[in-house]
Structure 1
Amino acid sequence: MKYFMAALCMLCMSKIAAQNVKGKLVDEADSPIEDAGIFNKTSGQHSHTDGTGHFVLDRTSVNDTIYFSRLGYATQTKVVGTSDLQNPITITLKEASISLDQVVLVSEVNTMSKLVDVDVKTNPVKSSQEILRKVPGLIIGQHAGGGKAEQIFLRGFDVDHGTDVAINVDGMPVNMVSHAHGQGYADLHFVIPETIENVNFGKGPYYADQGNFNTAGYVNLKLRKSLDKSMLSTEVGQFGARRFMGMLNVMDNQNSNAYLASELYLTDGPFESPQNFNRINILGRYRYALPGDQELLLTASHFSSKWDASGQIPQRAVDQGLISRFGAIDDTEGGQTSRNNFVLNHNKNLGTGKSLNTMAFVSHYDFELYSNFTFFLEDSVNGDQIKQFEDRMMAGAKSVFQNNTASLGEMGFKYNAGIGFRYDNVDDNQLSRTLNRQELLERLAFGDVDEVNGYAFAGAEFKSGKFTFEPAVRLDYFRFDYVDNLSEQYDSRSEEKVAFSPKFNTIYSPTENTQVFLKTGIGFHSNDTRVVVANEGEDILPAAYGVDLGTILKPADKLVLNTTLWTLFLDQEFVYVGDAAIVEPSGKTRRMGIEVGARYQPMDWLYLYTDANYTHARSTEEVDGEDYIPLAPDFTMVGGLTLGNNNEGFSGGINYGYIDDRPANEDNSIVAEGYFVADATLNYTLKNWTFGLIVENLFDTEWNETQFATESRLFNEPNSFEEIHFTPGTPFYLRGKVSVSF
C-alpha cells in the first residue's frame, strides 16, 4: 500500500510540475492566426495554433524563452514570467516580408513543407497544377490540350495522373477512384492559383492521416480563409492566351468574412490545330467565428473546361517531314469536364490544448475525353479514336481530435485520432471506339462503380530529451462494387478488403538548428474497382514498405540544407489501363534514391533555392537489363532565384527544371529524352498597381513535355512501329499581366 501511495504522490507532483503556457495568436487586425509555430528554445517543446488561433505549450517554466513564428510575420520572442503560467496570453504578430528566418526547425516530421512554403510565397505559381512543381522532386507534364490532368512523376514513379500521389484541397480529395481514364486521376484545374495559401506535402507512406493513393507521397493545398485586399487581374499573351481573374471581399468584420473569386482562361496553344481551350472557375468562401472558440468555413466552387487537342505524335512522322513538331495526326482529340464542390470545415477549440476539426464535402463531377494514341493500328478504315466518359457523385467526411497537453510522467506526450469515410458513385463509366467524336462504333467497357472507403487512424508524439518518437497506425476498409452494363444479364460483382498500416517516425534534434529523422511505414498501393473484380479479389491492396533517413540543417538564420536517403518496396503494382480496358500486373518493384536541397536568402530581396533527386527504380522479378520501370525519372533538378519583395518597385525571378534521359520501356531500348527548361517573371509595382511579364521557356528550348513508347500505324503504312510518341513542350511563350488591388 505504501508503494502505491508513493507512486500516486509522484504522479501528482509530476502533474503539478507540468505547467503550461496557453493563449492566442492574432494579427494586427485582431484576426486569429492558424498554424503558427510556438517553440520553447529552453526545453525544445513545440506546439501550433489551431484553426481559431489558440495554442497550449506544455512543460514550460519561468524564464524559458519562447518563439512565436509564422511565415509572413516577424518572429516574436517572449521570456516566460510567473503570470504567463497562470493566465492566457495574447500575442500579436506583425506582418513582414517572407524570410527563411521565420521558419524554426521544430521536432516534427513535416518540416520540409514549412521550408518549401517559402518558395511558394516568394515566387507565386502561374497555375494551380503548377503548384505541384513546388514539391521537391515532383515533375508534371501536359499531353492533351491543357484540359486534361497533368502526368505526374515522383520518386521513381510514373504516377500517370495521380495513382501514387494523394492530392487534397483543404482536406477534400482530388484523386478520382476507378476513373474512366485511369485510377487516381487528379485534376487540379478547379483551383484558382491566387486563392492558394500554402502547400503541405510529405513523401512516402509515413503519415497516418493519409491513406489511399499515398504511396510516393501526398500534397494538400490550403486555400485562403480571407483576403487582405480585393484584386482584379488580366493577362494577354501569345497563342491567343487571355486570362481574367477577380477576387472580391464581400464581407469583412471581426466575426465573419467572405470573398468571391473567379477566373476565365482562353488559349489556342502553340499547335497548328487551335486548342480552342476555355476554362471557367468560380469560388466562394464564408468564414464565421462561432461562440465558444469555434470556426465554421463554407466553400462552394464550380469548374468547367472544354478543349480540342492535337494529341501525341510519333517521332517518325516529324523525321519524315509529314508533320511539324506542333502538327497532328488526328486533331479531333479533346474533351470537356466539370466539377462542382461544396465543402464544410469546422474547427472547435476544446480548451487546454485540445481541438476537434471536422471536414465534410459533396462533389459532382463529369468527364468526357476523346483520344487517339495508335492512329490506324486497330482499325485501318475508321482509325483508333476512343471515348472515355463518366458521371460521378462523391461525398465524404473526416473528424480529427488533437490533444497537445496529455501527460505521461516526465515525458512530453501528444496524441491525435481521426475517423472518416469516402463514397464514390460512378455511373456510365465507359471506354468506347468512336469516329470523329460523333459516331459510336463499339463499346469496349461500360459499367457502374460504387466504392466505399472507411478509415480510422491514431498517432502519438513522445518527446524525451532531444528525441521525438511518433508511432501511428491506420486502418482502411474498402468495398468495391461493379455492375457490368455490357453483360446481357445483370452482372454485379463485389469485393471487400481491410488494410492495416503501421508507421513509426523518429526525430533527433541535438540543437535548435539541426534535425535528423528516420521515417518508417507500411502503406498500400491504390487499386481500381475494375482491377479488383477482374482479379477476383487477389492482391487487392498490395503493401508498400518505405524507409527515409535524412537531415535538415540551418547553419545560419537564412540558410537551410537538407539531405534524404530513401527506399520503397511494393509487393505488386496492378494497373488498369483506361485507354485499353485491360489490367496490367507489373509485379514487385523496388525504388531507392537520394534527395539534396538548399535554400539561401543572403538579403531580404534575394532568395535562391535548388533541389536535386536521384532515383534507382527497378522491377525485382525481371532479369537484369529488362527490369527498368518505364518513364521512371532517375535524375531531376529544379531551382531558381527571386529578386525584390513585391511591395514597391521591380521584382521577378527565374526558375528552371531539368530531367535526365530515362527508359521508355522495360529494356531501355527506347529512351525518353531529357530536357532543361527555364521560366522568368518581371514585375513592377506602383502603389496598388502591378505590371508584369511572364516568359515560359525563356531560352526557346526544343523539348518534349510528355513521351511514351507506343506502337502505332499511320494511314499509309503497311506495318506498325513502336517508338517515342510525344507532346511537344511549349516554345518561347510571352504574356503580359496587369493587376490592381483595392
Structure 2
Amino acid sequence: MSHAEAVPTIDIRARAEDLAGVAQAASEGVVSAERLSLVPLLRPGEVLEMVPGLLVTQHAGDGKANQYFLRGFNLDHGTDFATWVAGVPVNMPSHAHGQGYTDLNFLIPELVQQVRYRKGPYFAEDGDFASAGSARIELRRSLDAGLAQVTVGPGGYVRTLLADSIPARSDAAGQWLYGVELFHNNGPWTVPEHYRKFNGVLRYSEGTAAQGLTLTAMAYQGRWTSTDQVPQRALDQGLIGRYDSLDPTAGGNTQRYSLSGEWAQMQDGVHRKTEWWALQSALDLWSNFAYCLSDAQAMCPVGDQFQQAERRTAAGGAHSRHWASTWQGVDVRHAWGVQARADDVAPVGLYRTHQRERLGTVREDRVQQQSLGLWAESELRWNDWLRTTAGVRGDAYRFKVQSNLAANSGQAQSALLSSKLSVVLGPWRGSEFYANHGQGYHSNDARGTTLRVDPADPTNAVQSVSPLVRTRGEEIGLRSEWLPGWTSTLALWQLRMASELLFVGDAGTTEPSRPSRRRGVEWHHFVALNAHWAIDGDLAWSQARFTDGDLAGPYIPGAASTTANLGLSWDGQGPWSGALRLRYWGARPLVEDNSWRAPAAAWVNLRVGYRTSKHEQWALDVYNLLDRRVNDIEYAYVSRLAGESAQGLLDRHVHPVEPRTVRLRWTHRF
C-alpha cells in the first residue's frame, strides 16, 4: 500500500482532512465547522464536547469557566487539558480560582473554522497542561457571506450576532473579518443570573494558513449573578428549591482583551511559522461553597463568602520550522520549535467578603512567571507500511512571588526534559495501527512553590509544592474504514501522574494531591447512512486510582468511569436539517473510599433547522429534551447551614442541569 491510501478523519458532514500518513496517534483528529454548525450548543465551551470523550458542565454561573471531564479526569476548569484559540493559550497558570483556568466565554462558535485535538502526552509540540489532551481552535479567515443572527428563549435569553468579511483593498490581497456578539440570559434560576456579555473579533488575513499572515484582536466583557452548588440536605428538607441560591450575591465580573499575529511561509521545501500574542484579563469572582462553616455565630450573619480576584498581563510567542530530507535512503521529516510565555499577575488575591464587600484579606500576592519551551521531532518513513516519530521537549520555568506575608514571598525555578515516541503501521486496507509513549507535565500554582506558612493561620507551617509535576502515558490504537462510509478509531491508554490536582470545595480552588494512575478504552465512530443522514458516537471507559496506598482510599473524586456522546444528524434533504444528541455521564466516586458516589446522568439535546430561502434560515434548539432532573456536578465536602453545629456536616453539593429549554434562532446571510 502507498502512503496515499485513505484513512479518513471522522467528520459528520465532510472529511475535512485525511490523517492517513499524518497522524501520530489514534486519539487525534479534526472537528470541522460543518459539524459544529449542526450541534446545539448550550454554552460556547461545549465546542470542546466535539473532542471524543470530553464532557462540559457548569457548577456555578455561566460567566465562569466551564467544568471539563476527560479520560478519568475531573479537569476542574481546564487543568491537564491545554487549549488555544487563534494561537493564543487559554489556560491561565497561577490563576485566582484554579490552576489552568480555561474560560471560553469569549469564543464565538460561528467563527470557528475547525478544532484540532490530541489526547495524551505524546506530542513534542504540546507542553504544560496537555497530559490529558489538547485542542487548538482555529478561527475563520473569511466568511462566504455576511451573517446576522438573533436567538431568543425563556429566562430573558437574547443573543445577537453580526459578522462579515470584506476586502481590505481593491486588489483583494487581504481581507478583514469582524464579529460582534451581544448576549443576555437570566436562566432558570430563582435569583436571575442576569448574565450579560459583549464579544468582539476583528481579524486581518492574507494568503492561507500554510503561507500567509493574520492579525487578530479580541475583546470580551461579562458579568453575572451565580447560583452555585447547594447542599443536598437543604433540598431534602425543603429549605430551598432545586433552582434556588443560598447566597444571592455570589457571581462575578470578567474581561479579556488580546492581540495576536501569525506568519507562515513555505520556501525551498521549508515551512516556517511564527506566532505572537499579548493579553490583558481580569476576574472578580464571589463564591460561597461552605455557607457559614467558619462563622462562629449560630445564625451565620456573615457567612463564608469569599472573593478571588486577579489582574493579569501576559505575552508570549512561538516559532517552528518543518522540512524534509533523506537519511540512508529513508524519507525523514524534521521539525523543531521554541515557545515562550510571561505572566504578570498583580495582584492575585483571596479575600473574605459579605455581599461582595471585603471584610479582610486571606492572602494577596504579585506573581511573575516565565516559561521557555524547546522541542524537536523527526519522523522516519522506513517503508510503505512503517513510520516512527521520535521527539524531545525541554521546559524551564521561573517563579517570583511577592506576598502580603513575607514568609510566603520568594523565588523558585525548575526545568524538565520529556521524551516522545510514536510507531505507526499501515495503512493496510484502510487501517493504521499506532503505539505511543510520552512524558509530560503540569505546572503548579507559583504561590505554592514559595509557600511556607498557611495564609489563613501564619503560625502553621506548611510544605511548598514542586513547580513541575511529571506525567507518563502510553497508548495503542487503530484508525480504520471498516466499510464504505463507516470510519472509526479505537484507543487503549494509560497515564501516570506524580501529583494529582484536586478541586477543594470549601476553599474554591485546586490543591496538589497524591500520585495517580489512569487507564481506559475509547471508541469513536462515524457512519454515513446516505448522502443526508449520519450517525456518530464516542464511547469511553476509564479507571482512575491513587497509587500511594493511603488509608483514605484509592478512588479519585469526580473521576467518571464511563462517558458517551451519541448523535444523529441530517442535512441537505430539502430545506430541513437537524441533529439529535445524547450525552451520558457514568457514576463516579465523590470521596476517596468510594462510600459516596454520584449517580449516572443522561440528557438529550435537539436541533431542527428549516431554510425558508437562500439567505434565511430558522432553527429550534431544545436542551434537555426529556426534561431529566439530573445534576451538572456533584461534590462531597463539609459545609454548615444556619443552626447547625459548628463542625458542619459532610454532604453532597449539587448543581442541576437546566430544565427543558427551548430557543429559537433566526439567521440571515447577506
Question: Which category of TM-score, normalised to the shorter sequence, fits these structures?
Answer: over 0.9
TM-aligned CA distance change 1:155 to 1:401, over 3 Å: same
Aligned to 2:468: 541
TM-aligned CA distance change 1:521 to 1:309, over 3 Å: same
Deviations 1:502-551 (A, max 9, x none): 10011111425101101100111321101211277763312111000111
Counterparts of 1:289 and 1:550 in 2: how far apart (Å)?
36
How many residues are paired up?
Answer: 649
Aligned to 1:431: 350
Deviations 1:551-598 (A, max 9, x none): 111022311122111111112235685963988442211111111122
Equivalent position to 1:511, from 428, 434, 448: 428
Equivalent position to 1:222, from 138, 159, 166: 138
Equivalent position to 1:278, from 196, 213, 225: 196
3-state SS of 1:580 partner: coil
Does 1:723 pair with 2:642?
no
After superposition, where does 1:566-581 map in structure 2 within 5 Å? Answer: 566-573=493-500, 580=507
3-state SS of 2:653 partner: strand
Deviations 1:389-437 (A, max 9, x none): 000000001000011x312132121011001200000001000100111
Aligned to 2:616: 689
Aligned to 2:313: 393
After superposition, where does 1:151-170 map in structure 2 within 5 Å? Answer: 151-170=67-86
Greater shift after overlay, 571-580 or 407-416? 571-580
Provide the TM-score with structure 1 as the length reference.
0.84
Equivalent position to 2:441, from 516, 524, 532: 524
Counterparts of 2:332 and 2:649 in 1: how far apart (Å)?
62
TM-aligned CA distance change 1:67 to 1:518, over 3 Å: closer
3-state SS of 2:443 partner: coil
Q: Percent identity?
A: 31
Deviations 1:337-371 (A, max 9, x none): 0000000000111222x111010000000000000
Equivalent position to 2:600, from 671, 674, 682: 674
Measured after TM superposition, the shift of residue 625 of structure 1 is: 7.9
Equivalent position to 1:641, from 551, 556, 568: 568
Aligned to 1:138: 54
- Contact 2:82–2:128 (CA under 8 A) maintained in structure 1: yes
Does 1:334 pair with 2:251?
yes
- Contact 1:99–1:118 (CA under 8 A) maintained in structure 2: no
TM-aligned CA distance change 1:621 to 1:70, over 3 Å: closer
Equivalent position to 1:483, from 397, 402, 405: 402
- Contact 2:164–2:178 (CA under 8 A) maintained in structure 1: yes
TM-aligned CA distance change 1:696 to 1:583, over 3 Å: closer
Measured after TM superposition, the shift of residue 288 of structure 1 is: 2.5
Q: AA paired with 1:300?
A: A
Counterparts of 2:600 and 2:9 in 1: how far apart (Å)?
38
3-state SS of 1:367 partner: strand
- Contact 1:480–1:529 (CA under 8 A) maintained in structure 2: yes
- Contact 1:525–1:570 (CA under 8 A) maintained in structure 2: no
Equivalent position to 1:459, from 372, 377, 385: 377
Measured after TM superposition, the shift of residue 70 of structure 1 is: 9.8
Greater shift after overlay, 385-394 or 591-600? 591-600
Q: AA paired with 1:437?
A: R
- Contact 1:172–1:361 (CA under 8 A) maintained in structure 2: yes
Aligned to 1:653: 579
Equivalent position to 1:612, from 539, 543, 549: 539
- Contact 2:8–2:15 (CA under 8 A) maintained in structure 1: no
Counterparts of 2:30 and 2:507 in 1: how far apart (Å)?
42
After superposition, where does 1:297-446 map in structure 2 within 5 Å? Answer: 297-352=214-269, 354-379=270-295, 380-403=300-323, 405-438=324-357, 440-446=358-364
Counterparts of 2:31 and 2:263 in 1: how far apart (Å)?
27
Aligned to 1:664: 590
Counterparts of 1:421 and 1:621 in 2: how far apart (Å)?
35
TM-aligned CA distance change 1:687 to 1:200, over 3 Å: same
Aligned to 2:638: 711
Counterparts of 2:479 and 2:637 in 1: how far apart (Å)?
42
Q: AA paired with 1:422?
A: R
- Contact 1:678–1:697 (CA under 8 A) maintained in structure 2: yes
3-state SS of 2:638 partner: strand
Does 1:265 pair with 2:183?
yes
TM-aligned CA distance change 1:520 to 1:460, over 3 Å: same
Q: AA paired with 1:109?
A: Q
Equivalent position to 1:631, from 548, 558, 569: 558
- Contact 1:519–1:549 (CA under 8 A) maintained in structure 2: yes
Does 1:120 pair with 2:35?
yes
Counterparts of 2:508 and 2:482 in 1: how far apart (Å)?
53
3-state SS of 2:572 partner: coil
Q: AA paired with 1:205?
A: P
Q: AA paired with 2:219?
A: H
Measured after TM superposition, the shift of residue 136 of structure 1 is: 1.1
Counterparts of 2:509 and 2:91 in 1: how far apart (Å)?
21
Counterparts of 2:34 and 2:527 in 1: how far apart (Å)?
11
Structure 2: runs of 5+ lacking an equivalent: 453-462
Q: AA paired with 2:571?
A: G
3-state SS of 2:52 partner: coil
Counterparts of 2:586 and 2:506 in 1: how far apart (Å)?
27
Measured after TM superposition, the shift of residue 67 of structure 1 is: 8.1
Q: AA paired with 2:536?
A: Y
Equivalent position to 2:390, from 471, 483, 486: 471
- Contact 2:7–2:431 (CA under 8 A) maintained in structure 1: no
Counterparts of 1:674 and 1:67 in 2: how far apart (Å)?
38
Counterparts of 1:334 and 1:324 in 2: how far apart (Å)?
19
Q: AA paired with 2:374?
A: A
TM-aligned CA distance change 1:592 to 1:672, over 3 Å: same
CA RMSD of aligned residues (A): 2.4
- Contact 1:248–1:261 (CA under 8 A) maintained in structure 2: yes
Measured after TM superposition, the shift of residue 689 of structure 1 is: 0.3
TM-aligned CA distance change 1:460 to 1:484, over 3 Å: same
Aligned to 2:115: 199
Counterparts of 1:119 and 1:717 in 2: how far apart (Å)?
54
Aligned to 1:186: 102
Equivalent position to 1:242, from 151, 158, 175: 158
Aligned to 1:288: 206
Deviations 1:290-329 (A, max 9, x none): 9xx9512000010000000121111111111111111111
Counterparts of 1:546 and 1:111 in 2: how far apart (Å)?
14
Structure with more relative contact order (C-alpha pairs < 8 Å, separation 6 or more):
2
Aligned to 2:661: 733
- Contact 1:105–1:111 (CA under 8 A) maintained in structure 2: no
Equivalent position to 2:367, from 446, 449, 469: 449
Counterparts of 1:524 and 1:135 in 2: how far apart (Å)?
21
Counterparts of 2:177 and 2:91 in 1: how far apart (Å)?
26
Greater shift after overlay, 518-527 or 580-589? 580-589
Q: AA paired with 2:579?
A: G
- Contact 2:566–2:581 (CA under 8 A) maintained in structure 1: yes
TM-aligned CA distance change 1:128 to 1:310, over 3 Å: closer
- Contact 2:7–2:18 (CA under 8 A) maintained in structure 1: no
- Contact 1:99–1:601 (CA under 8 A) maintained in structure 2: no
3-state SS of 2:351 partner: strand
* Larger radius of gyration between Structure 1 and Structure 2: 1
3-state SS of 1:316 partner: helix
Q: AA paired with 1:660?
A: G
TM-aligned CA distance change 1:212 to 1:421, over 3 Å: same
TM-aligned CA distance change 1:349 to 1:68, over 3 Å: farther
